[in-house]
Structure 1
Amino acid sequence: MDEIRAAADPLDEAGLPPTPGTPNGIAPEGPIKKKSRARLLRGLSRISSSPTLAQVGRARSSSSPYPRGASLSCVSLATTPSPFGQPSTGSYFSQFPGADSSAATSIPGTPLHEFDECDEIGGVGRIRRLETSTPLTAPLPVEIRPRKTLFKLWASLPHEIKVHVLAYFEPKELVRASRVNKEFYKMCFDGQLWTSFDASEFYKDIPAESLAKIIVAAGPFVKDLNLRGCVQVEHYKRAEVIVKSCRNLINATLEGCRNFQRTTLHTLLRSNEKLANLNLTGLAAVTNQTCKIIAHSCPQLEVFNVSWCKHMDARGVKAVVESCARLRDLRVGEIKGFDNRDVAEAIFRTNNLERLILAGCDDLDDSALATMIHGKDPEIDVLTDRPVVPVRKLRHLDLSRCSRLTSQGVSALGHFVPDLEGLQLSGCSSLGDHALESILASAPRLTHLDLEDLVDLTNGLLSEHLAKAPCAPRLEHLSISYCENLGDAGMLPVMRACKSLRSVDMDNTRVSDLVLAEAAAMVRDRSSRTMERRSRPVIGLSLVVYDCQNVTWTGAREVLSRNAEIVVPRKQPPAAAAAAAGPGESAPRPIQTYPTEVISLKCFYGWQMTVDEHTKRVLRGDFGSAARLERKWAEYMQANEEAGAAGAGVRRRRRRAREAQMAHADEEEGGAGTVGRRRARTAACAVM
């Protein structure tokens, strides 16, 4: 090895340092050796002089003996060829005492160098100077560096455009963005962004103090305030702060603020003269005095809701009705005192109401209702025997649970409410056919009719009056639940005449499978079919027939079958048939049409899971799977009925019932394409 090192590093006999300006201090006197041989010798020299490079598992920083201000590559650990046979000043051995030294080691310390072993010129490594100090910080990656251009763009935008951008934020997002800096705080609470404040969606996620601060900051600009259910403002101090800030309200909803103080509420009403929509449902602070303040301070009121306010009566409603000439929507459910003739006469004189909600007003009787419609002591026409008064502008009338009303009082509506669209009479158990005959004959715009729990109604009202009424083509919602005398004789004509029905409630009635079949046929006739396989149907009719003794699984199956029906027309247009033919096919394929409307059925609870699964498959366009489920269910129901029959072959019929039940359960659970192991099941029930 010494011979190899001597050959690689020849020493000058004089022991002088290398001559500057020549490679390695050696003058090129003789011929230059080949590069390959020099590279081999230099590599062997490096291996022999760097035994510690083979060690693994030790970090370079912990084993480096150099100062912090420089770094060294693996090449710098080897001795550099020198004409004097001594290591260079930047070598590994020149840094420790005890190593061989010469005149070259006494030279003052020079900057360390690193040799690039891959780039050589004339067999000598190229020198690259390193920094003497290592930087203590590193630059961020490009992908997470802040984009200065974006902030410059935002800073250059006008204030109006910035506010317009922030207008797309939700209230919760605006509160979060306000914490960026002072500029964002100022913009996020700009009055233009808070003209409408609806806290009903996020009031549970925001502290009471923050909610109060938001309303205080944006209060002068808020026009629509919705604090429905906000229990945070129950404390009187927070409520007072909110009331003092909001002075330009147009729409105010305080429903659910149970402990709202009476003085605070009165202050709010006095300071907002532009109120047009006021909802005080269920507030204990509302009294007749509150209604007088509203009548005096809010002349532009249009919608007034004081339902379930127990500390007021109809006299407060009278004050509001007489003073607010623009009032068109009055909701006073569960309010006492409507048997007062003066209140009824005040409502008659206004004749501006389009919606009147009197649900649960037990004091309302026939005389008061007749006064609201005809007035007090009206003139009677001798030819028609009707009062000579202007017709009412009512479009929606709710008289639900007004138990003192009879047919005589409700019949006063006939011929005086031509614009009526919605009529709710559920719970008025004393009403009969006579109460509705004149109304159905004179209300051509009627679309919603609620007759729930009217036990005295007969099939004649439906077949002779409702089915032949001017409103029959427009009727969309009909409820006859718990009308125990109504059955097929009344509902079949209604299903044929009312082609626009969207929901029918017939639970606890005498209707049978015939009504379900007629409803399925009606939906099929009125709805168009499509040839697009990927189209998805929608629910066009909702039927409620649970607890109907005459409805069997056969009627439910009829509805399911029509929902998943795929029809092939008998006569197909030539153009459509040619378009249906695939490339290279001689005969065209038959065109299939798919439904666009289906029926949502609510029936006996034992069948409801199957009905819901079938409807789910139909709505996602899986008609084949839905038809297969319907067929399996029908086989199971039929086998189950046979198993319950007496006579010979009982065991065989029960076995068939169990097999049908298993097949139906498999289809209902997985449908098409189910893989894997199914859960274990118990034996079939002999009853169900």
Structure 2
Amino acid sequence: MDRMDVSESQSPASPASAMSGQIALEQQQQSPKPKGPKRLLQGLQRISSSPSLVRRTRSYSAGYQRDRKASLSCVSLSSSNQCWGDPSTVTPEAPLIARSNSPSSNAPTPGGARVRVLGTLPNVSQATVPLPPEVRARSHSMLSETAVTATSNETTSKRKIDFWRDLPDEIKMRVLSYLSPKDLVRCSLVSKEWYSMCFDGQLWSRIDATGFYDRISADALLKIIIGAGPFVRDLNLRGCVQLRDKWIAEGERISDRCRNVVNVSLEGCRVDKTAIQFFLLRNARLRHINLSGLTTVTNSAMKIIAQTCAQLETLNVSWCANVDSKGLRRVVQACPQLRDLRAGEIRGFDNEALMLDLFERNTLERLVIHRTDVTDESLKVLVQGKDPEIDVLTDRPIVPPRKLRHLDLHQCGRLTDAGVSSLAHNVPELQALQLSQCTELTDNGIVKVLRTTPQLVHLDMEDLDKVTNTVLQELAQSPCAERLEHLNISFCENISDHGMRPVLRSCPRLRSIDMDNTRISDLSLVEACSLVRRRGGYGTNLPRVGMRIAVFDCIHVTWAGVLEVLSSNVFVPWTVKNKQPIVSVQETTSGSNQDHEDDGETSSPSSSSGSIPASGSASQPRQHHHQPRYYPQEIIQLKCFYGWQMTVDEHTKRVLRGDLAAAHRLDRKWADYMVATEGDATGGVGSRRRRRRVARLLEEDEDDPVTGQRRRRARSGGCVVM
């Protein structure tokens, strides 16, 4: 029986089923034809949607092929017959029976098509075959729930991202490098992994214990040094006295681990002599060595430095009592790159052989030989050499200029004008000169140096009794006047305003002036205030300290001069205060209320002439005028008589935080108080009136209704000081 007979023998399809089949056919014709597995599933769905397989008008399924190959649309319903070839051999009465227990049930079919094996199902009829649930059509809601479930399962099964663990080790080290040593030690307590990271040698290439040397134990510090030994480049153990026993017991181990140190500072440490020498032998790359104040450093250590550290640039052996010129000479001869030598309180600088070696090397840029036995002859050898050629016209030695930039000769009592004069014309790059407490110096030697040092920035002449105003007058006319920033003339009792005022007028870059125990007066303070106001100007930024002045124990400095400094620190000219106000424009929204507000603003008599009246059609932007606050950009920090110092310090704090009104009230009250107390000290007819004024000053002030702070009524009556 062919396919047409089967369809005729069945009952005709209902109109509803025919209509649904027609709609499905139209939808199929409109949509693009699927391919592959989707095509097979579409054919199965169409078959299951029809209640009858014998309807004559039903079209072939999409999976049916007319090239005489087997497909699921031509399966037989007979229990004895199966269709593997021609679809015309299908009988509607034969149900498809699968023998699941057959050994050949999984064998491939002769026609190449896969047949779904059906068992004995109670709901299976001769006209319909139910589809398996995995290919059965589902509603949109069921599909959405399935998609959401699959997404949630996928998210749950997805591995959680550990940001820190997934980072490369290089980035971890880079992040941890920004932590301080104290924070690194704290982070090491998190876990074993963090412990290994925090004590990695890459993070400890620079060990600087100056910030925590008094709060760390010797064992912890030793552990850090040993752990980071091969990576350490800068080792600063200044003040670590707790390592005294560790240097004795573990000194050789420390030296074996730390072999790549470039900069080392052991100032103030209690290091064993053997440990220092062993450390210097193991570090041939040292360039900067600081052994200041170590009594265990001897000439043997200098010999090791000369033999090992050929790249040495800086050596600090100040206050090393067991080092002399003999050991230093070996270092100077063996280290051609030595630029900084600090040897304060070292014996043997009267030895001309050491000075001659320094002259021939001519690499020093900083020489600190304070409190030594240097003499005029040895200083001349350092600057001019021995038996130099003399120029006939200028009567000066013909020698290469020295590269010295910083020369410290303070408290060298054997120096006189003859030795200091040798510096003239030979140190053109000198920037700092310290000659304090060289009591034999006079104006002649210093003036010659000032005229030939155009780069001078720092000049220290403290406690030179024989220096007069001539030095300061020459300083004001010298080439270095434009660059001078620091001047110390404390305890120079012969210096007064005649020398100091020209300096304040000619040196615009002065930042620090020490004038303790001199004869200067209030006139010098007034000149300093004028210099700071001229140089700093006025602006909207908060003030900063532009000059530091020390006038302690100056008998001619009175409270009037101190008040002048305080008044200058809060002074802002009216021309600066009344500058054009800043106009800020804000957008407004259209509306009746906004228009009403704009009309009120424009009609106000206090509004600016440049305001735009609001129109009825659209609202105009609102303009706000606010006056910026101006401050003096530089002020003077003053150190004066201890009875006035607390008031001066409080006044400076108020100015630095921008509260000029509070600072002005303070200096005004202090002026009234000083007028009253200074008048009472002298006595006179008006003593009762002055006592009443002091009592009024001590009463409680009124409360300011605006700021809520206590203030006193302002008084007018002219200047109460001058």
**Deviations 1:154-177 (CA, angstroms, capped at 9, x unpaired):** 222222222222222222232333
Alignment of 1:395-410 (within 5 A): 395-410=405-420
CA distance in 1, matches of 2:683, 2:470: 41
Q: Retained in 2: the 8 A contact 1:568–1:592?
A: no
Superposed counterparts of 1:353-372, under 5 Å: 353-361=364-372, 363-372=373-382
Amino acid at match of 2:639: K
Q: Match for 2:267: what amino acid?
A: E
CA distance in 1, matches of 2:294, 2:647: 45
Instruction: Say which of 415, 420, 432 aligns to 1:422.
Output: 432
User: Which of 534, 537, 546 is residue 540 of structure 1 equivalent to?
Assistant: 546
TM-superposition CA deviations, 1:219-269 (whole Å, max 9, x none):
0111111111111221101333322211011001111112x1111111111
- 1:674 Cα deviation from its structure 2 partner: 4.2
Q: 1:56-455, aligned counterparts within 5 Å? A: 149=160, 152-235=162-245, 236-258=248-270, 260-361=271-372, 363-455=373-465
Shift of 1:185: 3.0
The residue type equivalent to 1:484 in the other structure is E
The TM-score, its normalising length taken from structure 1, stands at: 0.72
**Contact 2:582–2:628 under 8 Å retained in 1:** no
**Residue pair 2:583, 2:626 contacting (<8 A) in 1 also:** no
Report the CA distance between 1:186 and its aligned residue. Answer: 2.7
CA shift, 1:594, in A, is 2.6
1:580 to partner: Cα distance: 11
User: Which residue type is aligned with residue 231 of structure 2?
Assistant: F
Match of 1:637 in 2: 674
Q: Is the CA contact 2:576–2:630 (under 8 Å) kept in the aligned structure 1? A: no
Residue in 1 that maps onto 2:662: 625
Tell me the SS of whatever aligns to 1:343. helix
**CA deviation after TM superposition for structure 1 residue 542, in Å:** 0.5
Q: 2:571 matched to 1:561?
A: no
SS in 1 for 2:477: coil
C-alpha distance in 1 between matches for 2:279 and 2:545: 46
Letter in 2 for 1:543: I
- Counterparts of 2:564 and 2:675 in 1: how far apart (Å)? 14
2:640 to 603, 624, 629: 603
CA contact (8 A) 2:577 2:629 kept: no
Aligned residues of 1:625 and 1:672 also touching (Cα < 8 A): no
- Separation in structure 1 between the aligned mates of residue 327 and residue 177 of structure 2, nearest angstrom: 40
Q: Measure, in 2, the Cα distance between the counterparts of 1:490 and 1:507.
A: 15
The aligned residue for residue 491 of structure 1 is 500
Structure 1 match to 2:510: 501
Structure 2 Cα separation of the partners of residues 228 and 454 of structure 1: 34
Give the structure 2 partner of residue 515 of structure 1.
524
Instruction: Please tell me the root mean square deviation across aligned C-alpha atoms, in Å.
Output: 2.5
| CA drift at 1:441 | 0.8
Residue aligned with 2:228, SS: helix
Match of 1:584 in 2: 607
Aligned length: 516
1:500 partner SS: coil
% same residue:
52
Deviations 1:577-602 (CA, angstroms, capped at 9, x unpaired): 68599971459999874311100011
Q: Does 1:476 align with 2:485?
A: yes
Q: Which amino acid aligns with 1:359?
A: H
Over 3 Å counting, the alpha-carbon distance change for 1:238 and 1:631 in structure 2 is same
Q: CA deviation at 1:349?
A: 1.0
| Structure 2 portions without partners, runs of 5+ | 1-158, 586-600, 611-624, 712-722
Structure 1 unaligned spans of 5+: 1-147, 677-688
* Cα distance in 2, alignment partners of residues 207 and 631 from structure 1: 53
Q: SS where residue 461 of structure 1 aligns? A: helix
Deviation at 1:652, TM superposition (A): 2.8
Contact kept? 1:233, 1:239, Cα under 8 Å:
no
Taking the aligned partners of 2:287 and 2:249, their CA distance within structure 1 comes to 26
In the alignment, the residues of structure 2 paired with residue 498 and residue 358 of structure 1 have an alpha-carbon distance, to the nearest angstrom, of 29
Q: Aligned letter for 2:387?
A: D
SS at structure 1 position matched to 2:554:
coil
Q: CA deviation at 1:642?
A: 2.2
Displacement, 1:429?
0.9
CA distance in 2, matches of 1:616, 1:672: 19
How far apart are the structure 1 equivalents of 2:628 and 2:210? 51
* 1:470–1:523 CA distance, 2 compared to 1 (3 A): same
**1:196 to 1:633, Cα distance in 2 relative to 1, 3 A:** same
Instruction: Call closer, same or farther: CA 1:592–1:203 in 2, change over 3 Å.
Output: closer
- SS at 1:417 equivalent: coil
CA distance, structure 1, for counterparts of residue 311 and residue 504 of structure 2? 45
Residues 375 and 419 in structure 2, CA contact (< 8 A), matched pair in contact too: yes
**CA distance in structure 1 between the partners assigned to 2:642 and 2:485 by the alignment:** 26
Aligned equivalents of 1:224, 1:666: Cα separation in 2: 59
Asked if 1 retains the 8 angstrom alpha-carbon contact of 2:631 and 2:658, the reply is: no
Deviations 1:328-386 (A, max 9, x none): 0000011111111111111111110000001111x111111111000111111111111
The one-letter code sitting in structure 1 at the alignment partner of 2:685 is A
TM-score scaled to structure 2, two decimals? 0.68
C-alpha separation between the residues in 1 aligned to 2:220 and 2:667? 56
User: What is the SS of the residue equivalent to 1:278?
Assistant: strand
For residue 322 of structure 1, what is the amino acid of its counterpart? Answer: Q
TM-superposed CA distance for 1:633, in Å, is 1.1
Q: Which deviations, in whole Å up to 9, do the C-alpha atoms of 1:8-57 show, x marking residues without a partner?
A: xxxxxxxxxxxxxxxxxxxxxxxxxxxxxxxxxxxxxxxxxxxxxxxxxx
Cα pair distance change 1:666/1:501, threshold 3 Å: farther
Q: Which amino acid aligns with 2:607?
A: G
Q: CA deviation at 1:636?
A: 1.3
Q: Give the superposition deviation at 1:469.
A: 0.7
1:647, 1:200 → 2: CA distance? 60
**Structure 2 counterpart of 1:273, one-letter code:** A
CA shift at 1:487, angstroms? 0.2
Question: Against the structure 1 CA distance between its residues 149 and 504, is the aligned structure 2 distance closer, same or farther, given a 3 Å change threshold?
Answer: farther
Q: Which has the larger radius of gyration?
A: 2
Letter in 2 for 1:306: V
Distance 1:651 1:343 in 2: 74
Amino acid at match of 1:409: G
How much does 1:292 deviate? 0.9
- Closer/same/farther in 2, CA of residues 376 and 632 from structure 1, 3 Å limit: same
- Match for residue 5 of structure 1? none
* Partner Cα distance (1:546, 1:177) in 2: 49
Q: Distance in 2 between matches of 1:628 and 1:165?
A: 50
User: Is the alpha carbon distance of 1:672 and 1:317 closer, same or farther for their aligned partners in structure 2, counting shifts above 3 Å?
Assistant: farther
Deviation at 1:508, TM superposition (A): 0.1
